[in-house]
Chain A
Amino acid sequence: MHVEEDTFHDRLDWGLWRQVFRHALPYKRYVIGLSVAAVILAICDASFALITRWAVDDVSAAVEAGESFSAWPYVGAYLGLAVTLAVGVRSFIIFAGSLSHHMSHDVRRATFTRIQELEMSYFDHRPTGWLISRLTSDCDKLSRIIAWSLLDLVWSSSLIVAISVILLSLNFKLGLIVIGVVPPLLVVSSWFQKRLLLSSRETRKYNSFITASFSEGLQGLKTTKTFVREAANLDEFKGLSDKMYQFSVRNALQSSVFIPIVLTIGSVAAGTVLWVGGGDYLAGMLSLGTLIAFIFYAGQFFEPINQIAAIMVQLQGAQAAGERVLNLLATEPKILDSEEVLRRMRDNGPEVRESPELAPDGHAHFIGEIEFRKVDFAYEDKEPVLTDFNLTVKAGQTIALVGASGGGKSTIVSLLARFYEPSAGGVYINGVEYRQRSLDWYQSNLGIVLQSPHLFAGTVKENILYGRLDATDAEVEQAARLVNAHAFIEKLENGYDTPVGEGGNRLSTGQKQLVSFARAILANPQIFIMDEATSSIDTETEALIQKGLHAILHGRISFVIAHRLSTIRSADRILVIDKGKIIESGSHSELIGHRGHYHALYTRQFRRETEAQVMDRVRG
């Protein structure tokens, strides 16, 4: 998992939290409910000591007067309060929990949706692990903090207010003494809470380093053994575990200093009450019950104040998470249908929508020609990858792109797929710039097969169905047959219903390739784009793949980033791409005659493939 630690903000950004809180608004009833529950709870918490005081005073008076005394009213009142409190506890947990889970669900859904809409360039500099943390831990963290800190905040402040009111109305002088400990408690609490948060964060950071170190150590074990690195590795690891020990112990020390200090401050209040209040009692100015109640209250102040300090620190700590999620939600996708296209699609009547010849945007559905006209492209303020790139492809043609990696082949197909858009110039479909066409229509008519085919963790059938969700079983099988995948699929344990494992890793690379072909052909795209695999596959599967590939290429506009000779040779046109330019172009026989770059490239690949074939034949 991606290791990342939030920066700690010294200042609370209330504006940010207000924005985060906006996501709680659809659940206003929970917010109100938990606030009411928290207030009730605080009042109950504050009232128990009052009942004790009431009982003690009454029983003292009764004894003095020699009257009979029944304990039942007091027990009844106490139990009544206890039931109220229990109901309060139950409802606040339910309200806060519901708010938190609902909010987390909604924010996660909104973030997921936004990620689906964002253009590819957004993902260039954001590792998968980073994005996963945004959708999982950040969403949970934010909604948990919003719900529970709201609750604690309401409960704590109500309790402080309730106790203060009770104390001051019972006895103003003693009340002031007890309330006097609030400021030092608050200062001490926030000082320690911040340090606790920082040291626990450091502990977690080193813990994740340790986890990473264990898994790296296991992955690189052979290297460690062959280089006899065991001792050096252990030394490095000890450095990490020492650090973790240090911060973990520091965290424990901080809390074992913190709690006693706070309790001692509380006991100063209680001691002072005993001293001053005891004197007042002796002077007849105070009842015994009140005195006892005051000593109780002096101890009760600590909890809510500690909570408030903790919330402030938590909000400071989670601010970075809030910023990241809000930023993600606020990022507008750059590649989407223009206002004009959207308007056109809205205004189009049923004659357009139901016509098989027309796309939803009113233009022709059939793609007869694709043209790159004076295309420039650069990835986010970096060196230009393509400059003044021109190319026209007619229906039915297959284009092979060859050349050294980093020359711009992938950029060309990414632009074609409209994963990126040209920074200057344009890509024209039947003479219309593709930004004037519906994005959804256009991309639905593309079939793309990637170099390392990615399958989802479902069955073989589900993966093929990804090409066209409403296809029948017969159509799935037909697609598989067309690309020569049927034979191996049938031999699998459960045929088409065999699960392929995470990322398809239960199938071989060649098999994954074949399934991804079936998926692509089921979609029956007008334009087919393929990035051919470079890795070696055994000759038998390779032959199957080649046959399958020809089935797909047949009759559509195809762009292939090609490595295999047979793919290259079967193309109508071969483009040798270097440094963002077409340096050679033509058919295989034309280019071989040139004896230029293509010739050199071809010869090298030819030798590799032939050697591999001979090597394989040893087995046969």
Chain B
Amino acid sequence: MTTEEDSKKGRTVREVAGIAWGLMRGFRLRFVLAIAAMLMATAFRYMVPLVASGTIDFALGSGNGTSRVVDFMERFVVRDWLAGHLWAAGLVMVGLTASAGLFNFFKGKLAAEASDGIARRLKNRLYDHLQRLPMRFHDQAETGDLVQRCTSDVETLRLAISTQVVEVSHALILMGTALPLMFLLDSRMAVASFVLIGPIILFGYFYIKRVRRLFQKFDEAEGKVTAIVQENLTGLRVVRAFRRQDYELEKFSHPNKEYRDLGLRLIRLMAAYWSISDLVALSQNAIVLGLGVHFISQGSLTVGTLFAFIMLLNLVLWPVRQMGRTLTELGKSFVSIGRIQEILEEPEEDRLPVTQAESGRGHIVARDLTFSHGDGQVALQSVSFEARPGETLAILGPSGSGKSTLMHVLLRLYDYQSGSLTYDGVEMKELDRHWCRHQFGTVMQEPFLFSKTIIENIRLGRPSAQEEEVMRVAEMAHIHDTIHRFPARYKTLVGERGVTLSGGQRQRVALARALLREAPVLLLDDALSAVDTETEELIISALKKRHGKMTTLVIAHRLSTLAHADRVIVMDKGRIIQSGTHEELCARGGLYRRLWEIQSRVEGQRTKDEGQRTKVQGLETEVEP
């Protein structure tokens, strides 16, 4: 899915490198040290073949012809002593390998700390940043895409830093040091050793680049198989209902085959790649060996030097062969950096300094409040109302009339465009968003519960609450008994890995959560729509006891939920079409009164004994258009 097209802005290599450099802040020293450690390790590893070769030529006296290593050793070591104490040469080899290992360890540790540290910091930063971006951003963003940027793209970047950058530097350092060393030993052999290195790198780079497209296709084919399996399993009952098992198998067969066949094609290409690159690398060895023995026969090269060349070449060849692959992988990380940066560049919600006391009184006044989502349609048009501290204000209206939008504006999830909205007499735009949100306990239409335990979910309302307080609000929300029926009670996990709560149960947990908050204002957005009527009535009578203590704004579809409100506003198409007390609205006629009539007449049905059937049926004909 990570394709170049995804990135909206094209960035130059220079910009990306600048961003990457910025991301490395605080870890740069570790990185430099890691590369230094790698250099040391490489140096020690080089010395191993040199010691072996020197010992062979010098102490064992194989040499006819000259060798620089022998010249060097002659100056420091007595030949006969070494010949008598060959164990010392062996010991030096072990010592050198161990020292190389020690530095390799440092390199590994430093590179891991740096790359994982950068990745950790970046993930934390992205997580926090996403939480602080305005709802406007999230309304347009796709969750799956954001998650991918925050996880896969960060991982691509981490791998690039820990592996590819290190490997490229390693290969460069190896070549940069082996080349002069080889020239120092024997320039003819050095030239011969590098004849095929260039072609190997180029071959790798272009080949992998080509194969990458097939890799992408292969991933897509896998995705198709997964999608079919997923569809089959989620539609399992439909498949059974129509007895379509054979048809499903046929539908599955084709993508399954295609996935396999693409895999086979990929394997064939990879087989060609590895065998050709092996052949070229081995030919490089053959050239060195052939030329080496030829020079030895001419007397212009020692056996030990040839030996050193073969060993050095083996050290250089492997990382060089990987280069093509590494470079293409590194290219991917450029795209990833761009995709991550796009998120980080989005501006966060603005904050203001808090001058108010921690909690206000809950006095809300709206005057000509107007709001639009920016899609050309007005979601709220000149809305005016007042909710005094302790009052209950009910909002009634068909779906899409702007009730939920009003709640969102109150919660400062969106900024209103004109008119005024005050809280305790202060314009809300001049108050800090977080402070404003602290003033409300909210239950949304489809409340979200986190995959934590029930008690943790309720405690979201007030993390410092005692267990008794949690149980008290749970009882008020009529969910306590339900919770007690779960095996782990309040410690029961919610969600996929725990119990799946029904819509009504979720709403009641969310209500408990909002009540626990003890905020000056309670916002209920159709909060009991999935709760059965009897329980709903019990909850409402429990809430009534709190009447006067907190300002309450209730959105409902059902009249029964709002009958006890101090004032009712009726909304449609973003406007308030009726408002007043229950008595006033009943007296005035219109939507509210008609609803009330239906309600009371049906209620009346339950208590009367006679003429049941005819009356109910009579009612039907009355309301049917």
Contact = CB atoms under 8 A, between A and B. Distances in A.
B243 A264 contact: no
A523 B241 CA distance: 11
Considering residues A83, A220, A230, A264, which has the most beta carbons from chain B within 10 angstroms of its beta carbon? A264
Contacts of A607: 598-599, 602
A467 interface: yes
Per DSSP, chain B at the interface is: helix
A71 B93 contact: no
A89 B271 CA distance: 7
Contacts of A105: 256-257, 259-260
Interface stretch (B20-28, B102-110, B323-331, B356-364): B102-110
Contacts of A259: 101, 104
Given A226-B437, A237-B127, A291-B56, A85 B278 contact: yes
A97 B147 contact: no
B94 A264 contact: yes
Contacts of A529: 241
A75 B87 CA distance: 34
Nearest to B230: A132
B272 interface: yes
Contact of A216 (B91, B450, B577): B450
Contact of B89 (A221, A228, A274): A274
A177 to B, nearest CB: 11
Nearest to A251: B112
Contact of B413 (A51, A127, A225, A229): A225
B132 interface: yes
Interface stretch (B115-123, B179-187, B205-213, B484-492): B115-123
B97 interface: yes
A250 to B, nearest CB: 9
A115 B234 CA distance: 12
Given A89-B275, A228-B438, A607-B599, A101 B260 contact: yes
A603 B606 contact: yes
A599 B397 CA distance: 29
Interface string B72-104: 000000000001001101111110111011101
B233 A128 contact: yes
B509 to A, nearest CB: 12
Nearest to A55: B293
Contacts of B197: none
Given A59-B297, A75-B290, A608-B558, A233 B249 contact: no
Given A82-B283, A606-B602, A263 B278 contact: no
Contacts of B616: 592, 602-603, 606
A189 interface: no
A229 to B, nearest CB: 6
**Majority-rule SS of A interface residues:** helix
Interface residues of A, number: 157
A109 B253 contact: yes
B294 A292 contact: no
A612 interface: yes
A600 B226 CA distance: 47
A29 to B, nearest CB: 15
A492 interface: no
A551 B278 CA distance: 72
A342 interface: no
Contacts, number: 428
Interface in A571-613: 589, 592-593, 595, 599-600, 602-604, 606-608, 610-613
Contacts of A273: 90
B559 A611 contact: yes
B437 A63 contact: no
A570 interface: no
A323 interface: no
A606 B91 CA distance: 95
B293 A56 contact: yes
B59 interface: yes
A417 interface: yes
A440 interface: yes
Interface in B221-237: 222, 225-227, 229-237
Interface in A209-268: 210-230, 232-234, 237-238, 241-242, 244-245, 248-249, 252-253, 255-257, 259-261, 263-264, 266-268
Contact of A97 (B267, B533, B613): B267
Contacts of A256: 104-105, 107-109, 112
A90 interface: yes
Given A104-B260, A136-B225, A456-B231, A228 B278 contact: no
B229 A612 contact: no
Interface in A427-469: 440, 443-444, 446-448, 450, 454, 456-457, 466-467, 469
B138 A252 contact: no
17 contacts: A3-B497, A55-B289, A56-B307, A63-B297, A71-B293, A78-B289, A211-B151, A220-B448, A223-B450, A228-B438, A237-B124, A260-B105, A261-B101, A443-B241, A611-B559, A615-B398, A617-B625
Which 5 A-B residue pairs are closest in the complex by CB-CB distance? A260-B101, A256-B108, A97-B267, A271-B90, A252-B112
